Amino acid sequence: MTPKMTRWSVALAASLMLAGLAQAQTKKELVAKVIQLQQPSVDNVARTIAGQTAQQMLEAAGPAVAQLPADKREAVGKDVQAEVKKFYNDIEPLLRDRAAKLAPTAMGPVLEEKFSEDELKQLIAWLESPTAKKFNEAAPVLLSTMQQKLVADTRPTVEPKLKTLEATLRKKLGLPATPAASATKPAKK
């Protein structure tokens, strides 16, 4: 056997061995890999829940703070914000940890049912690709841009409907109608 033939044989054997290893992965292992690659999205779900919960707490406290004497509002408002931030900082890592532990049982069965082994391999290849990573980095900017354009485009249609809803709810709740002067002011952008 020539040295050239030996190198070719070793390369062929290595390729066959790697192909065999790739084939040896079970569907459950492929699903686990997809879930592992989706960990940033799982973390984001936890952050979103923590943020929404904290925001709801701030919104619930707002009316009570607004009813305080003027000289106490700012200090109490800052205290409320500090407590809500402390709450967020406490629950966000807890939710991320639990989300990471729940992801296999929550996402795994769906991935196993909806995707074949070949599709899971293709998905893994995509998720590991530089293009997918670049797209995921750009996604927040893409979505934010879309959101801004959607709001600007639909504002003339949505604002009158929102004002009608507000007037209807005020009437049903027995609240006074908003002064006519505020209705003529242009909406803030």
Could you report the per-residue pLDDT of 141-174, keeping only the tens digit for each? Answer: 888 898 889 989 999 998 998 888 888 877 877 7
Q: Identify the residue with better confidence: 123 or 1.
A: 123
CB burial readout 56-91, b (16+ within 10 A) else e: eebeebeeebeeeeeeeeeeebeebeeebeeebeeb
Residue-level pLDDT at 101: 95
pLDDT tens digits along 8-29: 555 555 554 444 444 558 999 9
> How far does CA 49 lie from the centroid of its chain?
9
Q: Domain residues of the chain, as ranges?
A: 26-128, 130-173
The four Cα atoms 123, 107, 39, 127 give a dihedral, to 10 degrees, of: 10
pLDDT tens digits along 61-99: 988 888 889 998 899 999 999 999 999 999 999 999 999
Least confident of 51-55, 144-148, 182-186: 182-186
Q: Measuring CA to CA, which residue among 189, 109, 120, 118 is closest to residue 156?
A: 189
The four Cα atoms 86, 88, 94, 98 give a dihedral, to 10 degrees, of: 170
Any residues with CB less than 8 A from the CB of 27 and at least 6 apart, and which? 112, 117, 120
- The H or E element that residue 4 is part of is helix 3-24
The number of residues in the chain equals 189
- The H or E element that residue 179 is part of is none
Per-residue pLDDT for 1 more than 70? Answer: no
Residue-level pLDDT at 9: 56
Tokens in use for 126?
A: 């995509």
A 10 A CB-CB count for 40 gives 8
Provide mean pLDDT across the span 127-154: 89
Nearest-5° angle of CA 15, CA 18, CA 20? Answer: 110
Distances (CA, A) of 85 to 79, 81, 157: 10, 6, 36
